[in-house]
A and B are shown apart, each in its own frame.
Chain A
Amino acid sequence: MICRDAIDVLADYLDGTMPRDLAAELERHLADCAPCRAYLATYRKTHELGAAAGRVEMPEEMRARLHRFLIGRLRAV
């Protein structure tokens, strides 16, 4: 496996959906390739950071405003 192929399959590798033989091939490549190890580590961390940054909560005043708006519209149903 070469770097291009290794990076192509990182998402499946992280997902755990990759066939076992292909995962073993990737792991052999990673053992020998420091740039791809760095790429995988930072790719994985990026995934975690993106998830953490995306866990936004609706502001409380917005929740109250929505509640008033929707209940008001419901009365018109």
Chain B
Amino acid sequence: MSTDDRSLLARAATGDADALEILMTRYSARVYRLAYGITRSTSDAEEVVQDVFLQLVYKGAGFEGRAALGSWIYRITTNVSLNKRRGKRRELETSLDELLPTYLPDGHRAGDRAFLLADWSRTPEGELLSGESRRILEAAIDRLPEHYRAVLVLKDVEELSNEEVAQIVGDTVAAVKTRLHRARMALREQLTRHLGAGA
């Protein structure tokens, strides 16, 4: 952690509003992105951001600072978001197994040839991120288990390394890589079921 961050935390702990404002300017956008990405609820994400910054004020001065403040904030945000999700909306989350590729006994892909060859990747991004395609994508993200969403956001949105993500979520690099790959494959499958025929 930089001296600057450390001194801001120390000042915020004594009630210094300017220090807190600088910390908010510096970190609130990423806290919100991660909180929303895991909880998928604006109201839950707002509560998470509140909790995270309260923890910064009340506990930040005692932070030892072996890691960058950003990583510590990601870790708190992930934990608070996962706690917030506990017991909520699980009915939306489905097993990923039916969304993963299937194979013939010889290891080649199984399935309808036209579906296997469907390539919608050249569809303009604006089109993919609006209308029915956007709705399919958002619903597919909603259906991911929350631990998968945490990894997906940290890696693909926040662009952290597998090692950094593993440290934040408290898991092994291998587990993070597996979860990330399965999450992407599940999203890809649902988009292909929607877009494949027209590709």
Contact = CB atoms under 8 A, between A and B. Distances in A.
B92 interface: no
B121 interface: yes
A22 interface: no
A70 B119 contact: no
A3 B137 contact: no
Nearest to A17: B162
What class of interface size applies to chain A in its complex with B? 35 or more
B75 to A, nearest CB: 18
A52 to B, nearest CB: 6
Contacts of B187: 46, 49-50
A36 interface: yes
B132 interface: no
Contacts of B86: none
A7 B101 contact: yes
B183 to A, nearest CB: 8
Chain B binding surface, main DSSP class: helix
Interface residues of B, number: 58
A15 B180 CA distance: 12
Contacts of A38: 116-119
Nearest to B15: A77
A3 B53 CA distance: 47
Interface stretch (B2-10, B28-36, B66-74): B28-36
A47 B184 contact: yes
A45 B118 CA distance: 13
Interface string B113-130: 100111111000100110
Interface in A19-41: 34-39, 41
B136 to A, nearest CB: 10
A45 B120 contact: yes
Q: Which 4 A-B pairs have the closest CB atoms?
A: A2-B107, A54-B157, A35-B116, A41-B121
Interface of B: 12-17, 20-21, 24, 28-29, 32-33, 36-37, 42, 46, 49-50, 53-54, 57-58, 101, 103, 106-109, 113, 116-121, 125, 128-129, 134, 137-138, 141, 152-153, 156-157, 159, 162, 177, 180-181, 184-185, 187-188, 191-192
5 contacts: A34-B117, A35-B117, A39-B101, A41-B119, A50-B184
